[in-house]
Amino acid sequence: MGAGDPKDPRRRRLLRGGLGLGAALVAGRAAAGTGAPDPKITELQPWTSGPGVGVEANPYGLPVRFEADVVRRNVPWFSADTISAVNFTPLHALDGTLTPNGLCFERNHAGVAEIPPEDYRLMIHGLVERPLVFTLADLMRLPRESHSYFLECAANTGMEWRGPQMNGVQFTHGMIHNVNYTGVRLRHVLKAAGVKPAARWLLAEGADAAAMSRSIPLEKALDDCLIAFRMNGEALRAEQGYPVRLVVPGWEGNVWIKWLRRLKLGDQPWAQREETSKYTDLLADGTAREMSFVMEAKSVITAPAPENPITHGKGPLVISGLAWSGRGRIASVDVTLDGGVNWHAARLDGAAGPKALNRFYLEVDWDGRPLLLQSRAVDETGYVQPTKNALRKLRGLNSAYHMNGIQTWAVDADGGVSNVELG
Ligand SMILES: Nc1nc2c(c(=O)[nH]1)N[C@H]1C(S)=C(S)[C@@H](COP(=O)(O)O)O[C@H]1N2
Ligand SMILES: [Mo]
């Protein structure tokens, strides 16, 4: 006798134990209420009346067709052409913390480079004892590690500097992904070349037509950076930098050079386009923050969200979201239902490592009244996610980058959700 056997007393206990919540959840359903037979149970369904496809139908598996809406999306007005553009991770449709490879947002400045692995070269030169060139096979002979990290574009949520703009969490917060990378510590590769004592900075350059280049302080390069060739176990996707990208944990996405082809050691930064004209934060007084690398603690509720209205009426409601910090681990996340009058400690699910996405949940009993939902992350340094207005007071309105303010979703009595801001 097993737990599935109707005569099993354990099964009866389970059913009885679950009745309270179960009754509340099905209360609104006609079939359950009337006692009429549910044809989905009583009638033979097509998926039962014949076999499905065989194991050769999908040598590389794809999502089930009912999930065809779960895709990256872009906004047409972002740029004149999609070769220099961004698309957004569908955060509203995901749970847990890892982003599936096919759903990782893309930000390309000159389209996706396609590099045959045998043609890949990584050059290391400048202030080194021995300039070196690595092939992909060379890199794969060095000691390897795997770590999960978030990558957030500095422009994520940037549209919201001037007030609520985008009515969907995919567009307000979707320039982020969280991937388990396998690769070689950058410091192993730099040590092989022998860094000269005068070296202070590293130039990382991509092999794409944009030749995207950024200056990185040597201290960070020798710390936790990876030269990665796997994402979530498989080869990098072309759009994520196949065959090799730089992983710069906790720092703005722009420095995570894709299609990495060159590392140059120097004694000062290079003043590349992406660290002067772009990816700097123009302040109210006309000066600019430069090299604002770290992505500060941030969080967002992914359900309910504009794409995830409450459709089940009052009763048990699962509030879920993501929290992250470029300075390390998330210590706690608080959630408010009333625009910040009362805060409740959310439950952090599982133990996320430093500089990675954390999943949080808060289970509540919704009374059907309108809500003003917010989440607020605190990281291990004690930094508390600020309000958007606090950030505006500090940095003015000129910036398009580093907006990590608290997001507000208004839930109306029908369960509809919209992007709002409290004055
Ligand atoms: N070579 C190269 N590296 C690049 C870029 C690029 O256009 N070319 N875009 C950068 C920017 S601005 C971001 S936010 C991240 C995006 O990484 P993703 O496409 O994996 O999301 O890659 C960075 N690395
Ligand atoms: Mo970016």
Strands 132-134 and 73-74: unpaired
Whether the per-residue pLDDT at 18 is higher than 90: the answer is no
How many A from CA of 124 to the centre of ligand 2? 24
Confidence at residue 140, expressed as pLDDT on a 0 to 100 scale = 96
The full set of domains in the chain, from first to last, is 73-289 (3.90.420.10), 298-420 (2.60.40.650)
What is the overall mean pLDDT for the chain? Answer: 92
Ligand nearest to the CA of 401: 2
Determine contact, residues 111/209, Cβ cutoff 8 Å. yes
* Banded pLDDT at 78 (limits 50, 70, 90): confident
Token duo for residue 50: 């014949």
Cβ(240) – ligand 1 distance below 6 Å: yes
Coil, helix or strand at residue 359 = strand
pLDDT in tens, 165-184: 999 999 999 999 999 999 99
Atom nearest to 104 CA in ligand 1? 21
| Cα first-last separation, the chain | 62
State the virtual CA torsion across 383, 384, 387, 391 in degrees, nearest 10: 0
Cβ(105) – ligand 1 distance below 6 Å: yes
Confidence at residue 351, expressed as pLDDT on a 0 to 100 scale = 86
pLDDT in tens, 364-409: 999 999 999 999 999 999 999 999 999 999 999 998 999 999 999 9
- Over range 302-312, report the average pLDDT: 98
Confidence at residue 34, expressed as pLDDT on a 0 to 100 scale = 74
Confidence at residue 3, expressed as pLDDT on a 0 to 100 scale = 36
- Over range 283-306, report the average pLDDT: 96
Cβ(155) – ligand 1 distance below 6 Å: no
Q: Which residue of 86, 105, 247, 256 sits with most ligand 1 atoms within 8 Å of its CB, as the best mutation to test the pocket? A: 256
Atom nearest to 154 CA in ligand 1? 14
Cβ(254) – ligand 1 distance below 6 Å: yes
How many A from CA of 335 to the centre of ligand 2? 28
Ligand nearest to the CA of 242: 1
Whether the per-residue pLDDT at 9 is higher than 70: the answer is no
- What pTM does this model have? 0.92
Confidence at residue 33, expressed as pLDDT on a 0 to 100 scale = 61
Atom nearest to 153 CA in ligand 1? 14
Nearest to 223 by CA among 263, 194, 250, 262: 250
- Over range 135-142, report the average pLDDT: 98
Residue with tokens 């740029």: 79
Whether the per-residue pLDDT at 30 is higher than 60: the answer is no
Q: Which residue of 254, 263, 274 sits with most ligand 1 atoms within 8 Å of its CB, as the best mutation to test the pocket? A: 254
pLDDT in tens, 252-274: 999 999 999 999 999 999 999 99
Confidence at residue 10, expressed as pLDDT on a 0 to 100 scale = 38
State the virtual CA torsion across 259, 91, 328, 251 in degrees, nearest 10: 30
Annotate 408-419 with b (16+ C-beta within 10 A) or e (fewer): bbbbeeebebeb
